[in-house]
Amino acid sequence: MSALTSFKKPDPLFRRHIGNPILIPSYWPYQVNAVFNPAAAEFRGETLLLIRTEDLRGFSHFTIAKSKDGKKNWSILPDLILGPDTNIGEEQYGLEDPRIVWLEEQGKYAITYVCFSRGGPLVSVMMTEDFRTFDRKGPLLPPEDKDASLFPRRFKGRFALIHRPIIRGEAHIWICFSPDLKHWGDHRVVIPTRSGWWDCHRVGLGAQPIETPEGWLLVYHGVRVAASGSVYRVGLALLDLDEPWKLISRSEQWVLSPTEAYEQRGNVPGVVFPTGAVVDRDTKELRLYYGAADTTVALATADLSELIQFVKQDSGKNIWR
């Protein structure tokens, strides 16, 4: 018997929603090319998605959709379109890939997002209390930078930001800190690419950091460039609860990959790209919202305790490289 035949096929950690994709361009009350990469939050008893919506010029803006159970019967709100501010130079080519966290200390939601300028993509932040009015604070760091989220609380008085700059062509996940959301320092790599692995070419944050008793759960995407193009898959990592620059564990295997037709066919084939998550307070079910093939919004669910157990058990000696 070969070593491979001794492996039992495990039950999937993430289970795709039977109604996937849950949001598609034809649902929109105006003409769009794609709807994908949504941020997610619980807001006034509903699940709120802030969805990247691409127009027929190729520029993106944000649209809000709401659902009572976060799975079906979505209501799209065309009166809450959040587009680029023409007075802000870095937003001239659109807004992309938001993440949302609730900042208890400020009593506001913080939305980190990518905006495109002539200088390239960079990370900006805006604040809101009601998802109707938004206070844009501007860019946090210079280009080229993407895949960013604040943590929902401070660490020894400092805000923390997960982000993914491109440096010398390398694309690792970094963390940095700030006393005031303006001045950032103490930069360091927290999750690097792994040469030869499924996440060898690029890694980037998926959903916003999720606080658990075992540490901060990160759902991240990893990219491997194949002969047919780039393949985006999803992995898990766990950061220390009080010192989030410390990587506790990291899954060796991916936990979600583009295998379904709606993940394989679209504007960018072979992409599952998570950007938002909501944890049910009663059942501890994690709902992961992701862009499929840069065209539609899909949903996968998992048991939070099973994810934590998996990332701790599947972490080997190759946490780093």
Q: What average pLDDT score do residues 23-46 get?
A: 97
Does the pLDDT at position 80 exceed 90? no
Does the pLDDT at position 68 exceed 50? yes
**Proportion of the chain above pLDDT 70, given as a percent:** 95
Q: Which of 8-17, 180-189, 288-297 has the lowest mean pLDDT?
A: 8-17
pLDDT, mean over the chain: 93
pLDDT tier at 6, thresholds 50, 70, 90 = very low
pLDDT of res. 318? 59
Q: Are 45 and 282 in contact (CB under 8 A)?
A: no
Question: How confident is the model over 186-222, as pLDDT tens digits?
Answer: 999 999 999 999 999 999 999 999 999 999 999 999 9
Cα 46 vs. chain centroid, distance in angstroms? 20
Does the pLDDT at position 56 exceed 60? yes
Q: CA 48 → CA 39, 87, 206, distances in Å?
A: 8, 28, 17
**What distance in Å separates the CA atoms of residue 308 and residue 291, rounded to the nearest whole number?**
23
**What distance in Å separates the CA atoms of residue 108 and residue 216, rounded to the nearest whole number?**
21
Q: Which residues contact 77 (CB under 8 A, 6 or more apart)?
A: 63, 64, 65, 66
Q: CA 311 → CA 236, 254, 287, distances in Å?
A: 6, 10, 17
pLDDT tier at 237, thresholds 50, 70, 90 = very high
Does the pLDDT at position 228 exceed 90? no
3-state secondary structure the chain: CCCHHHCCCCCCCCEECCCCCCECHHHCCCCCCEEEEEEEEEECCEEEEEEEEECCCCCEEEEEEEECCCCCCCEEEEEEEECCCCCCHHHCCEEEEEEEEEECCCCEEEEEEEEEECCEEEEEEEEECCCCCCEEEEECCCCCEEEEEECCCCECCEEEEEEEECECCECCEEEEEECCCCCCEEEEEEECCCCCCCCCCEEEECCCCEEECCEEEEEEEEEEEECCEEEEEEEEEEECCCCCCCEEEECCCCCECCCCHHHHCCCCCCEEEEEEEEECCCCCEEEEEEEECCCEEEEEEEEHHHHHHHHHHCCCCCCCC
Does the pLDDT at position 61 exceed 50? yes
Question: How confident is the model over 172-181, as pLDDT tens digits?
Answer: 999 999 999 9
**What distance in Å separates the CA atoms of residue 97 and residue 174, rounded to the nearest whole number?**
17
pLDDT of res. 1? 39
pLDDT of res. 171? 95
**Proportion of the chain above pLDDT 90, given as a percent:** 86
pLDDT tier at 86, thresholds 50, 70, 90 = confident
pLDDT of res. 113? 97
Q: What average pLDDT score do residues 98-113 get?
A: 97
pLDDT tier at 4, thresholds 50, 70, 90 = very low
pLDDT tier at 320, thresholds 50, 70, 90 = low
Q: What average pLDDT score do residues 289-301 get?
A: 98
pLDDT tier at 10, thresholds 50, 70, 90 = low
Question: How confident is the model over 128-143, as pLDDT tens digits?
Answer: 999 999 999 999 999 9
Q: What average pLDDT score do residues 97-113 get?
A: 97
Does the pLDDT at position 101 exceed 70? yes
Q: How many CB atoms lie within 10 A of CB 13?
A: 22
